[in-house]
Amino acid sequence: SQTIHQWPATLVQPVGSPLSLECTVEGTSNPNLYWYRQAAGRGLQLLFYSVGIGQISSEVPQNLSASRPQDRQFILSSKKLLLSDSGFYLCAGERASGNTIYFGEGSWLTVV
Minimum CB distance to other proteins smaller for 6 or for 78: 6
Contacts to other proteins by CB under 8 A: 1, 4, 6, 42-44, 88, 90, 94, 99-106, 108
Alpha helices in the chain (DSSP H): none
Q: Are 38 and 86 in contact (CB under 8 A)?
A: no
Distance CA 105, CA 94 (A): 15
Minimum CB distance to other proteins smaller for 15 or for 57: 57
Distance CA 44, CA 65 (A): 17
| Closest approach of other proteins to the CB of residue 79, in Å | 26
Minimum CB distance to other proteins smaller for 30 or for 103: 103
